[in-house]
Amino acid sequence: ERDKYESNDVAGVVTGLAWTQVGGDILFIESILSKGKGTLNITGNLGKVMKESATIALEYIKSNAESFGINPDIFGNYNVHIHVPEGATPKDGPSAGVTMLTSLISLFTQRKVKKNLAMTGEITLRGKVLPVGGIKEKILAAKRARITEIILCVENERDIKEIKAEYLSGLTFHYVNDMDEVIKLALTDEKVKNAKTL
């Protein structure tokens, strides 16, 4: 039995798409802040490449804080913890990059994530989004989980075109080149309920 989309009530919780040996699945990226000196904690039974995605997302945000409307003093005053639930399952690969980025921007701005949205894509330090594998399996899992909108790299559009139309009904695709587009699509202007003042 597969996971289902959950609500968007909490800052830092974003839905990603994963591709495992037993097929596609959705996964959640969660992040929280606690008072501290800027330590980054990463948990969830993650391999080296997936941990690197978390570092890339955080360092990219630090380097471009102003363009995201984030006060850079935050980074020195809080510890960040990024977690990917279901610790019994080992996870790896770069495709959670966009999801981690979105999670952290939501966390630092306390902005609400768009409803029923999922995403998959590698991120890079220059702000680009790169294509990833397992698109067909991921899309099927997204439908099962009641996702209605999906963000992908433009280079993954051809993978969508190879999928039968009947599997795509009810899904809207957003193809992006850059991480800025992901954030514009994924985050609303609304703050989450009980938004923290950072």
Rule CB under 8 A: is residue 71 a binding residue for a second copy?
Answer: no
Active-site residue flag, 51? no
Q: Which of the choices Ca ion, a second copy, none does residue 69 contact, using the CB cut-off of 5 to 8 A by kind?
A: none
Subset of residues 14 to 53 that bind Ca ion, contact rule: CB under 5 A: 25
Active-site residue flag, 106? no
Rule CB under 8 A: is residue 188 a binding residue for a second copy?
Answer: no
Catalytic residue among 31, 53, 91, 95: 95
Angle at 177 between CA 6 and CA 164, to 5 degrees: 65
Q: Does residue 40 contact residue 155 with C-beta atoms inside 8 Å?
A: no
Q: Does residue 85 contact residue 44 with C-beta atoms inside 8 Å?
A: yes
Burial of 194 from C-beta contacts in 10 A (0-12 / 13-18 / 19+) = exposed
Across 3-12, b (16+ Cβ under 10 Å) vs e yields: bebeebebbb
List the one residue out of 129, 134, 137 whose CA is nearest residue 53: 129
Q: Which of the choices a second copy, Ca ion, none does residue 88 contact, using the CB cut-off of 5 to 8 A by kind?
A: a second copy
Of the candidate residues 17, 26, 27, 30, the single one contacting a second copy (CB under 8 A): 30
In the complex, minimum distance from the CB of residue 116 to a second copy, in angstroms, rounded to a whole number: 17
| Coil, helix or strand at residue 155 | helix
Q: Measured between alpha carbons, how far is residue 3 from residues 27, 28, 34, 58, 187 in Å? A: 8, 10, 28, 27, 22
> 101-130 mask for a second copy (x: CB under 8 A)?
---------------------x-xxxxx-x
Dist. CA 186–CA 183, nearest whole Å: 5
Catalytic residue among 53, 91, 112, 138: 138
Q: Which of the choices Ca ion, a second copy, none does residue 25 contact, using the CB cut-off of 5 to 8 A by kind?
A: Ca ion
Q: Which residues bind a second copy (CB under 8 A)?
A: 10, 12-13, 28, 30-35, 41, 43-45, 48-49, 52-53, 55-56, 59-60, 62-63, 72, 75, 79, 81, 83, 85-88, 93-94, 122, 124-128, 130, 133
Q: Which residues bind Ca ion (CB under 5 A)?
A: 3, 25
